């Protein structure tokens, strides 16, 4: 179980960090669009569609990474007061009842949606450029597969927590800026 958790966390981290670079491409693309639109008065027909495609891809492909790091929004005002074994039991039930059926639906429906889109070479109807979007539809399936793998790892985490009485968390690989600044200020005042 521990080996699979480690594998899933590394896989999710690799995809999350790799697709995270789309932020830079989106920034460059939008900066280019602002320049040509407002300075040269020659807006592009493709910029908006490409930014939507990149943002959607980033959002979808980062889901498993966010799950592995416990970064999804939770309503934990009551949950955090429970003993960790109870938390793990509730999480286990919720993963089985809601998470996996949703992810399986995403993969199956995404597959059908993507196959149909590839079949007729779908292009965007939102711009005159006719940007191809059929390849973007495949992201639904890829994101579903990554979420499924990470979900199994989360199930294993729940089982181990119920046995051992503590949560196994993913390795820290990113530090929030506010936490980093707070730490630096605390070290500077000593």
pLDDT at 175: 67
Does 174 score more than 70 pLDDT?
no
Does 179 score more than 90 pLDDT?
no
Global pTM?
0.84
Give the residue from 8, 168, 6 showing the smallest Cα distance to 87: 168
Indicate the helix (H) or strand (E) that contains 27: helix 22-38
Q: What is the pLDDT of residues 121-151, one digit of tens each?
A: 998 887 788 888 888 899 999 999 999 999 9
Q: What is the pLDDT of residues 75-92, one digit of tens each?
A: 778 888 899 999 999 999
Percent of the chain with pLDDT over 90: 57
Phi, then psi, of 106 in degrees rounded to 5: -60, -45
For the ranges 58-72, 124-138, 171-185, which has the lowest average pLDDT? 171-185
Confidence grade of residue 158 (pLDDT, cut at 50, 70, 90):
very high
Q: What is the pLDDT of residues 113-126, one digit of tens each?
A: 999 999 999 988 87
Domain ranges of the chain: 2-172
Q: What share of the chain is helix, strand, coil (3-state, %, to 5)?
A: 75, 0, 25
For the ranges 44-48, 65-69, 160-164, which has the lowest average pLDDT? 44-48
Percent of the chain with pLDDT over 70: 97
Distance CA 31, CA 87 (A): 45
């Amino acid at each position: 179980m521990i080996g699979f958790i480690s594998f899933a966390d590394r896989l999710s981290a690799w995809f999350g960090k790799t697709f995270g670079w789309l932020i830079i491409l989106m920034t460059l693309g939008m900066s280019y669009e602002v320049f040509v639109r407002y300075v040269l008065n020659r807006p592009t027909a493709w910029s908006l569609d490409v930014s939507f495609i990149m943002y959607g891809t980033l959002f979808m492909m980062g889901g498993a990474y966010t799950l592995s790091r416990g970064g999804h929004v939770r309503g934990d005002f009551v949950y955090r007061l429970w003993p960790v074994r109870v938390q793990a039991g509730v999480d286990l039930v919720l993963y089985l009842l809601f998470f996996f059926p949703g992810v399986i639906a995403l993969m199956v429906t995404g597959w059908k949606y993507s196959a149909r889109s590839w079949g007729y070479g779908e292009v965007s109807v939102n711009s005159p450029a006719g940007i191809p979007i059929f390849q973007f539809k495949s992201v639904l399936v890829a994101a579903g597969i990554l979420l499924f793998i990470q979900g199994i790892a989360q199930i294993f985490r729940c089982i181990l927590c119920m046995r051992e009485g503590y949560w196994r968390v993913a390795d820290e690989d990113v530090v929030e800026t506010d936490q980093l600044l707070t730490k630096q200020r605390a070290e500077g005042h000593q």
